[in-house]
């Protein structure tokens, strides 16, 4: 078992011992089956214990795993007849955003997602999944096509954020994302977004203004990265694990705060351990939601999306707190 993180090392050590016993059994013709089975049971119990009590920082590490499935991987596993569409008709084609038409359970849909690369060259071509303005304009162009032809939209969110370089700012990065938020709010077809890895800042929201926002179990969704938060608030990037815990950006925290609408289960160890099973889980959830929208009018779909975001951030102002604040205010005035 390849290990990337410290918390996975105990599992890797047991796997190495299992491999050694299997090799000894093969070379020396020894019957070591019972010992191997005992170690496998121990490993499975340890995996269950470790992955059921992950910290926020550990989940973020899994979300960034280099072998974690990307948007293109899920497109191949979930959809049929995918045809990629290119260009924003203004500047160029941004490979950090994958767009196209496909079929889902024999129904035509539009699929959009951030796309990272596996190799250095692929990451350079796709800008590590950080989109330029033309990427968001391309996404909006395809979404408008979806609305015109009454096709549901599925987006996969996986970016550390929109690209913050000078060239992007010169071409109107903030305007492109803001325009997407405005125009997505008015689309008359269902939009379902799934955070499959990193969900960073406006770069994520640029294709995530949706009727339903779902999150894979080990993905995260936040206004800033834990490292960025630690650098600003603590003046120390090494405090990113503490920032991650305080920011409440894991799927479970986001669901409790009603920022997302559901959590999609991952195989034990993360989506990279079994991409096919993860894709099957995503497909089942998508099917449930898309069936629901078949009975809704286009106006009802747009209204639902609008109200969803209007409700975010609602808080309850308790009378006792009001009185306490008034008392504190009077005391301050006297002093």
| Sign, Cα dihedral of 38, 41, 43, 46 | negative
CA angle 260, 215, 113 (to 5 degrees): 110
What percent of the chain is predicted at pLDDT more than 90? 71
Q: pLDDT tens digits for 204-224?
A: 999 999 999 999 999 999 999
For the cut 60, the answer to whether the pLDDT of residue 2 exceeds it is no
**pLDDT at site 1:** 46
CA angle 80, 83, 88 (to 5 degrees): 140
**pLDDT at site 28:** 67
Residue 163 has what DSSP assignment? Answer: -
For the cut 90, the answer to whether the pLDDT of residue 310 exceeds it is no
**pLDDT at site 332:** 47
Q: pLDDT tens digits for 143-196?
A: 999 999 999 999 999 999 999 999 999 999 999 999 999 999 999 999 999 999
Nearest to 50, CA basis, from 68, 62, 33: 62
Residues in CB range of 139: below 8 A, 6 or more apart: 97, 99, 112, 155, 180, 206, 207
Mean pLDDT of 275-299: 94
Confidence class for position 312, pLDDT limits 50, 70, 90? confident
Q: Kindly tell me the burial class for residue 106, based on how many C-beta atoms sit within 10 Å of its own C-beta (0-12, 13-18, 19 or more).
A: exposed
Beta pairing class for 220-222 and 212-216: unpaired
**94 near 285, Cβ under 8 Å?**
no
Which residue spans within the chain are E strands per DSSP? 80-84, 97-104, 107-114, 152-159, 191-200, 212-216, 220-222, 262-264
For the cut 80, the answer to whether the pLDDT of residue 32 exceeds it is no
| pTM score, whole prediction | 0.87
């Amino acid at each position: 078992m390849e290990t990337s993180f410290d918390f996975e090392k105990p599992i890797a050590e047991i796997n190495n011992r299992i491999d050694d016993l299997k090799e000894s059994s093969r070379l020396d013709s020894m019957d070591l089956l019972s010992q191997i089975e005992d170690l496998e049971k121990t490993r499975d119990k340890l995996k269950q214990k470790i992955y059921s009590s992950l910290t926020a920082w550990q989940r973020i590490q899994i979300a960034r795993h280099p072998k974690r499935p990307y948007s293109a991987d899920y497109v191949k596993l979930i959809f049929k007849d995918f045809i990629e569409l290119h260009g924003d008709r203004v500047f160029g084609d941004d490979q950090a955003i994958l767009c196209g038409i496909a079929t889902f359970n024999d129904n035509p849909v539009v699929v959009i997602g951030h796309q990272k690369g596996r190799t250095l060259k692929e990451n350079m071509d796709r800008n590590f999944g950080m989109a330029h303005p033309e990427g968001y304009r391309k996404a909006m162009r395809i979404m408008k096509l979806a609305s015109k032809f009454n096709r549901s939209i599925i987006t996969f969110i996986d970016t550390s954020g929109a690209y913050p370089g000078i060239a992007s700012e010169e071409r109107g990065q903030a305007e492109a994302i803001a325009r997407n938020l405005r125009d997505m709010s008015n689309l008359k077809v269902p939009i379902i977004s799934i955070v499959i890895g990193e969900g960073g800042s406006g770069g994520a929201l640029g294709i995530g203004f949706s009727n339903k926002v779902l999150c894979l179990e080990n993905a995260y969704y936040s206004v800033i990265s834990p490292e960025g938060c630690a650098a600003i608030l603590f003046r120390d990037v090494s405090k990113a694990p503490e920032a991650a815990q305080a920011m409440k950006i894991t799927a479970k925290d986001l669901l409790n705060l009603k920022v997302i609408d559901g959590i999609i289960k991952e195989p034990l160890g993360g989506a990279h351990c079994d991409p096919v099973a993860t894709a099957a889980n995503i497909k089942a959830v998508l099917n449930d939601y898309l069936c629901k929208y078949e009975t809704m009018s286009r106006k009802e779909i747009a209204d639902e999306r609008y109200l969803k975001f209007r409700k975010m951030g609602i808080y309850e102002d308790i009378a006792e707190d009001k009185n306490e604040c008034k008392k504190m205010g009077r005391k301050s005035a006297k002093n």
